[in-house]
Amino acid sequence: MKSFISFCDLSIVKGMVVKMSKEKEAKYPLDPLIEVMDKLLAPDGCPWDRKQNHSTLKRYLLEETYEVLEAIDEGNMNKLCEELGDLLLQVVFHSALGDRANQFTINDVIEGITDKMVRRHPHVFGNVTVSGPEDVLHNWEVIKAQEKGRQKEKSLLGSVPKDMPSLMHAYKVQERAAKVGFDWPDIKGAWDKVYEELEELDVAVNKKEEIYEELGDLLFSIVNVSRFLKINPEEALLAAIRKFRFRFAFIENKIGENGKNIDDYCMEELDMWWEESKVIKKN
Q: How confident is the prediction along the chain (283 residues), in pLDDT tens digits per residue?
A: 445 555 555 555 555 554 544 555 556 689 999 999 999 999 999 999 999 999 999 999 989 998 998 899 889 999 999 999 999 999 999 999 999 999 999 999 999 999 999 999 999 999 999 999 999 988 988 888 788 765 455 677 877 888 788 999 999 999 989 988 999 999 999 999 999 999 999 999 988 889 999 999 999 999 999 999 999 998 899 889 989 999 999 999 999 998 888 988 999 989 999 999 988 866 5
Q: Are 45 and 39 in contact (CB under 8 A)?
A: yes
Q: Tell the CATH superfamily of the 166-231 domain.
A: MazG-like (1.10.287.1080)
pLDDT at 73: 86
DSSP label of 183? S
pLDDT at 9: 56
The DSSP result for 38-67, as a single string, is HHHHSTTS-HHHHH--TTTTHHHHHHHHHH
The residues near 31 (Cβ < 8 Å, ≥ 6 apart) are none
pLDDT at 54: 97
pLDDT at 1: 41
What's the CA gap between 76 and 74, in Å, rounded? 5
pTM of the full structure: 0.66
**Domain 4-148 is in which class?**
mainly alpha
Q: Are 163 and 21 in contact (CB under 8 A)?
A: no
